[in-house]
Structure 1
Amino acid sequence: METAEGGLRERHKAQRRSRILEAARELLRDSPESALSTERIAERAEVAPATVYNLIGPRDKVWEALATGFMDELDRRLAVLGGGDPREVVRSTVQLFVGDPVVSRRMVREWEASGLVLDRSPLTQLRQALADVRTQGLLRADIDTDALAAVVGTACVGALHQWVAALIDDDRFLARALFALDVALAAAAADPHRDRLLAPLRTEGGAV
């Protein structure tokens, strides 16, 4: 009985937490530049401010929780892909950001550790996808695909921050992220596949 009651409490807690985070997203979409206070979130979520603090934490923890939810959603989307294609990993990541631009931009601007937003997902999936491509023989056998994924991830974070600052639009964000990947693939290409992996660079160069 105690286990069942404990499980019910945890489910209710998770539901309240989810409602609080959705309230935060709604407030951001309604007023993109307004301050995101605990009181405003609590009012929208119809809970006490203390509940927001207890289940999420202070304001910086709200941004961290939003980022975690973002990465959880990215995990789900990439799991559907099943891995194997690094371009789809990059494309799905960018599409998730631009699909909810107000929340994405504020999250990246406000969260002090926003550089970590791509650290769990998609970096884990990108590492695996690049390892799969190496196994298929497209990349040289001596290539460290973890290091290659880290280089691509760093470039994508740079493109993300340019997009957040409105220096580039959605299409250019995607183009720059894919260009970074294709540069890495071409540099690491096995000889029989070098021309094919170089081909995208000849068409993408003007788009970035």
Structure 2
Amino acid sequence: MPNLRERQKESRRRKILQATREQLRANGFEATTIETIALEAEVSAVTVYNYYGTKTGLLLALIAENDSILLERMQELLKAPPETIVETFSAFAEIIRQHALSYLTKPVWRQVIAASIIEGGSQFGRSYAQLDRELARQLTKVLEKLRERGCIGPDANLDVLGDCLFQLQNARFLQFVSSDDMTNEAVDRYLREDIEALLSASPD
């Protein structure tokens, strides 16, 4: 059982991350500083630096916190996926988009994605890539359910299919967060058209 000191540290961490999320949503990445986060969290700037180091470190911690919640939602989809691959793929992508925007704004997600590319070899980049791999694995599990129903042929390589579909979702997600005018309905329509085009390209 955590002692008092450990509980206090965990409480400070939660307050700092909550303050970071609120500051990023309200002011964006560039205008948010360690000092404004510390003020919001009612801790010293030194405490924030000691816990997370930089704003990128704070982004990493937010994404890590975000990961566990997102993967729990994917488990719900795995329990009862829709009847078709189109509906399942649409639902999978929608969970990611809705969860992403409930957590951070589109401009901040652009910063997250940029940081994941620029710092690909860092802890931040590796953690972001690890989430992608886990989400692709979850999608493969959902596809296995669809194969059990006869919606996917028995010879299909589901690991490859899951990864390909996830990369397609990733591309559309990037398009979605890159434009403040892109609606959820529009990107969902594009994804449905994508998967329907892919399915129709294969001979029966």
TM-score bracket relative to the smaller structure? 0.7 to 0.9
C-alpha separation in 1, matches of 2:133 and 2:5: 29
Matched, 1:116 2:129: yes
Of 95, 99, 116, the residue aligned with 1:96 is: 99
Matched, 1:144 2:157: yes
The secondary structure found in structure 2 opposite 1:138 is: coil
Q: Are the structure 2 counterparts of residues 65 and 148 from structure 1 closer, same or farther at C-alpha, using a change threshold of 3 Å?
A: same
C-alpha separation in 2, matches of 1:168 and 1:60: 26
2:10 corresponds to: 14
C-alpha separation in 2, matches of 1:22 and 1:125: 28
C-alpha separation in 1, matches of 2:71 and 2:158: 20
Structure 1 segment 38-187 matched on structure 2, within 5 A = 38-85=34-81, 86-87=88-89, 88-99=91-102, 100-102=104-106, 103-111=108-116, 112-113=119-120, 116=129, 119-166=132-179, 168-183=182-197
Letter in structure 2 aligned against 1:139: I
- Conserved? CA contact 2:34–2:49, under 8 Å: yes
Q: Shift in Å at residue 74 of structure 1?
A: 0.8
The secondary structure found in structure 2 opposite 1:140 is: coil
Unaligned residue ranges in structure 2 (runs of 5+) = 82-87
Alignment size in residue pairs: 186
Q: Shift in Å at residue 121 of structure 1?
A: 5.0
C-alpha separation in 2, matches of 1:61 and 1:34: 15
Letter in structure 1 aligned against 2:105: P
- Conserved? CA contact 1:28–1:36, under 8 Å: yes
1:27 corresponds to: 23
Q: Shift in Å at residue 133 of structure 1?
A: 1.1
C-alpha separation in 1, matches of 2:79 and 2:189: 21
Q: Are the structure 2 counterparts of residues 159 and 133 from structure 1 closer, same or farther at C-alpha, using a change threshold of 3 Å?
A: same
More displaced, 84-93 or 176-185? 176-185
C-alpha separation in 2, matches of 1:96 and 1:89: 11
- Conserved? CA contact 2:77–2:142, under 8 Å: no
Q: Which has the higher contact order (CA 8 A, sep 6+)?
A: 2
Q: Deviation string for 1:67-115 (max 9, x for gaps)? A: 2222222122223344352333222112212434344444334444576
C-alpha separation in 2, matches of 1:26 and 1:133: 39
Unaligned residue ranges in structure 1 (runs of 5+) = 192-208
CA RMSD after TM alignment: 2.9
Q: Are the structure 2 counterparts of residues 176 and 57 from structure 1 closer, same or farther at C-alpha, using a change threshold of 3 Å?
A: farther
Q: Are the structure 2 counterparts of residues 4 and 156 from structure 1 closer, same or farther at C-alpha, using a change threshold of 3 Å?
A: closer
Q: Are the structure 2 counterparts of residues 176 and 71 from structure 1 closer, same or farther at C-alpha, using a change threshold of 3 Å?
A: farther
TM-score by length of 1: 0.73
C-alpha separation in 1, matches of 2:130 and 2:188: 17
The secondary structure found in structure 2 opposite 1:122 is: helix
Q: Shift in Å at residue 181 of structure 1?
A: 4.5
